[in-house]
Amino acid sequence: MPSLSQLQFSTKLLIDGELFEGEGRTETIYAPATGEVISQVREASTEQVNHAIAAAKRAYYSWSRTTPQQRSTVLLEIANLIENHAPNLARIEALNCGKPLHQALNDDLTAAVDVFRFFAGAVRCQYGQLSAEYIPGYTSMVRRDALGVVASIAPWNYPLMMAAWKIAPALAAGNTLVFKPSEHTPLSILELATHLDSILPKGCLNVVSGGGENVGSLLARHRDVRMISLTGDIVTGQKVLKDAVDSLKRTHLELGGKAPVIVCNDADIDLVVEGVTKYGYYNAGQDCTAACRIYAQAGIHDRLVEELGNAVSKLKFAQCQDSDNDLGPLISLRQRDRVASFVERALTEAHIQRVTGATIPSGSGYFYQPTLLAGCLQHDEIVQREVFGPVVTVTRFDEIPQALAWANDTEYGLASSVWTRDLDKAMHFATHLEYGCTWINSHFMLASEMPHGGLKRSGHGKELSSDSLQDYSVVRHIMARHALIN
């Protein structure tokens, strides 16, 4: 884990192109791997939030009139900036989230850079409906325009990557932004913000740190904010929707998940064990798409539980040599205790067996041992609710329709996977699973070109891909009456 002395970070907010100390409440920022205090960050006051929104509103006039090529150039410069500062930003991310440095650098930072580069290209290649005379003597054209000021609110699991997912498409589409990181993990984006003045016109991107109930809610309620984009919990999504009602602003909600992983008798078991060991526990399971809810067919079930249990018990965490670690701690003591209490309650059920894990290791930091529970039944809390920790359950099934029904029997609809060598079976599941994404013989793989987002209570709206450019813009119909045609 990087040490504090290796870091260069800022605690200042970016408002209208200038850096300010926050004037609101003070938030203590912890290193989850040790529990040590990294810093204190003062959150934005109400006046500072209003100032940021007003600055974004002023900047909108000229930013929305730039060409796609001009915006593309700016996004490419931001991508280069992140790449040039990647070692420091990754160290901040690793310390503030507790994730292994190699993952912060090779996964999060690389993805953030790629997202800016993708949207730099995508905004220059948009297409749409043809202009034509749908009424004789009238030519109809469809424009796609920006919305205005967008407010974006991010969670703590991938702070800089989530910032990239939200900032890049919004700016590319011609909007200006007020971005709020999670109050637990503001440091990487605040540091990046100190380098943006030479790239972005002032006011185009404002970064205000602070808690959800005050800063987040102010953004969701403000009448000059035309769209609010949130990645977070379902309950937070509901609060944001309520706050957005008065101003009738557009909402974009990426909420929780509880991904089913359907393993059929004919699956390649080595592939499943490798995939779930990696993507059920990556980022300590703090991932809305984590491969956490296995349905294993009876013919493969016992072998899978045994081999997966062996593999999971070998996952490394809390090692002195950070490059050896497969996963880090939970983000906070509260989150670690929440995960532990889910597992404790599950283990009071006589039918649930602990295959591995289910303990809080000794030592400092908010670690929880990677856990595999077998014998879980569909109605169990641990099968139904998002744990957001390194905990995977296995439920046995006999017939395909049963697995499909159970996989869909949840309030979530973000991600799913099916593991089989039979393409017909795979396509049957892919067609009928009610999820924003279904992987076949894989899990968790994301591409900037492909849409990411949920159904049901996992929210609405897409991140990544040109679909998200559509979410951050609006089509307008222009109709010209004239005598030239016919």
Nearer to ligand NAD, 93 or 183 (CB): 183
Nearer to ligand NAD, 103 or 420 (CB): 103
Q: Are strands 18-20 and 13-15 parallel, antiparallel or unpaired?
A: antiparallel
Give the 3-state secondary structure of residue 226.
strand
- Segment lying near ligand NAD (by CB under 6 A), choices 31-39, 175-183, 421-429, 437-445: 175-183
Q: With binding defined as CB under 6 A, does residue 30 bind ligand NAD?
A: no
Question: Environment class of residue 206 by beta-carbon count within 10 Å: exposed (0-12), middle (13-18) or buried (19+)?
Answer: buried
Look up residue 175 and give its two tokens: 């909007």
- Segment lying near ligand NAD (by CB under 6 A), choices 49-57, 59-67, 153-161, 265-273: 153-161
Nearer to ligand NAD, 375 or 390 (CB): 390
Give the x-and-dash track for 457-476 against ligand NAD (CB under 6 A).
-x------------------
Identify residue 80 by its one-letter amino acid code. N
Catalytic-role residue among 97, 264, 288, 437: 288
Q: Which of residues 397-416 bind ligand NAD (CB under 6 A)?
A: 414
Q: With binding defined as CB under 6 A, does residue 155 bind ligand NAD?
A: yes
Distances (CA, A) of 484 to 139, 141, 315, 321: 10, 16, 72, 75
Q: With binding defined as CB under 6 A, does residue 157 bind ligand NAD?
A: yes
End-to-end alpha carbon distance in the chain: 72
Q: With binding defined as CB under 6 A, does residue 175 bind ligand NAD?
A: no
Which phi and psi (to 5°) does residue 207 adopt?
Answer: -120, 115
Q: With binding defined as CB under 6 A, does residue 329 bind ligand NAD?
A: no
Question: Cβ(458)–Cβ(436) under 8 Å?
Answer: yes
Distances (CA, A) of 3 to 89, 102, 318, 390: 13, 15, 15, 25
For Cα atoms 473, 83, 98, give the angle at the middle one, nearest 5 degrees: 95
Q: Which of residues 367-396 bind ligand NAD (CB under 6 A)?
A: 386, 388
Residue number with the smallest Cβ distance to ligand NAD: 212
Q: Which of residues 176-215 bind ligand NAD (CB under 6 A)?
A: 180, 182-183, 211-213
Nearer to ligand NAD, 12 or 239 (CB): 239
Q: What share of the chain is helix, strand, coil (3-state, %, to 5)?
A: 40, 20, 40
Shortest reach from residue 2's CB to ligand NAD, in Å: 22
Shortest reach from residue 235's CB to ligand NAD, in Å: 7
Give the 3-state secondary structure of residue 135.
strand
Q: With binding defined as CB under 6 A, does residue 220 bind ligand NAD?
A: yes
Q: With binding defined as CB under 6 A, does residue 231 bind ligand NAD?
A: yes
User: Of the candidates 255, 304, 315, 392, which one interacts with ligand NAD according to CB under 6 A?
Assistant: 255
If we measure between CA atoms, which residue out of 275, 245, 278 comes closest to residue 263?
275
Nearer to ligand NAD, 23 or 213 (CB): 213
- Segment lying near ligand NAD (by CB under 6 A), choices 54-62, 68-76, 148-156, 395-403: 148-156
Q: With binding defined as CB under 6 A, does residue 288 bind ligand NAD?
A: yes
Question: Cβ(43)–Cβ(209) under 8 Å?
Answer: yes
User: Of the candidates 45, 236, 356, 369, which one interacts with ligand NAD according to CB under 6 A?
Assistant: 236
Shortest reach from residue 368's CB to ligand NAD, in Å: 16
Shortest reach from residue 335's CB to ligand NAD, in Å: 8
Q: Distance (Å, rounded) from C-alpha 461 to C-alpha 285?
A: 23
Q: With binding defined as CB under 6 A, does residue 156 bind ligand NAD?
A: yes
264 classed as catalytic? no
Question: Cβ(268)–Cβ(262) under 8 Å?
Answer: no
Q: Distance (Å, rounded) from C-alpha 180 to C-alpha 207?
A: 6
Give the 3-state secondary structure of residue 484.
coil
Q: Is the dihedral of CA 276, 93, 109, 473 positive or negative?
A: positive
320 classed as catalytic? no
Q: Is the dihedral of CA 263, 269, 271, 273 positive or negative?
A: positive
Interface contacts to ligand NAD, rule CB under 6 A? 153-157, 180, 182-183, 211-213, 216-217, 220, 230-233, 236, 239-240, 254-257, 288, 386, 388, 414, 454, 458
Active site positions, annotated: 254, 288
